[in-house]
Amino acid sequence: MIRDRPTLRSRISAQLWDELVRGAIEADVHARSALFTGGRDRIGAVLAGGLRLFTWASSGRQVTARYTRPGDLIGLGALLSGDDGWGSEAVVDSRVAIISFDRLHALSIQHPELAWALAEEASIMSAEAIHTIIGAGYEPMPVRLAAHLLELSQQTSDGQTVVRTTHKHLAEAVGTAREVVTRVLKRFREMGIIDIVPGSIVILSPEELTNIATAHRQLLGTATVNAPVRRPLPADTCE
């Protein structure tokens, strides 16, 4: 993944997290299967695996808002805002604890630590969504695709970094056409950054892919003077 970020579980005590999920119904969600994104009566706590949260543009294309990981909540934004215009799918086999609003509310009253952590979580999710939407409109396609590949990547038992997906699912996650994804992946392969095998994309150089995913920072003037020279991006723009 591009960067580590705190989860709700990391912001509260282990005892409070255990109390939050204790007694909750646990749902196993297979990779690429849909899951609820919350509502006025429940949220989900990610126990294992990871999910992709997304909304839809007016064109019908999906816009990914966040990739969750163990310790994250799903559905908090929908619960607090009443906005149900969100979708979710598991990117790998996952397990989620279903927590009722009543339980969340009661624990928040009993434990101010949880209430503050939920406020932080909601604020961070909003900021991430804004940055993601801006990136979808203005970042070059190689930057966007590299970021999604890193978020979707998994370590195998033999030490490889692999993304198990199809070009179609990757295009849906990025919010573009399958042909665009295929073209950029071909460029990455020619650069020696990835290899493409049936059913998977093998990331040969996570460092180079991270360089591409964060290249827009230099364009914004946030790179340091001593920053290493980056390999030029493949010549694709926003599509």
pLDDT tens-place string over residues 183-202: 999 999 999 999 999 889 99
Model confidence at 56: pLDDT above 90: no
Rounded (10°) CA dihedral 82, 67, 130, 41: 10
Only one residue has tokens 């999910």, namely 51
61-105: pLDDT as tens digits: 888 888 899 999 998 888 888 787 888 899 889 999 999 999 999
138-182: pLDDT as tens digits: 788 999 999 899 988 988 888 899 999 889 989 988 888 999 999
Distance CA 179, CA 197 (A): 17
Whole-model pTM: value is: 0.75
Strands 62-67 and 194-197: unpaired
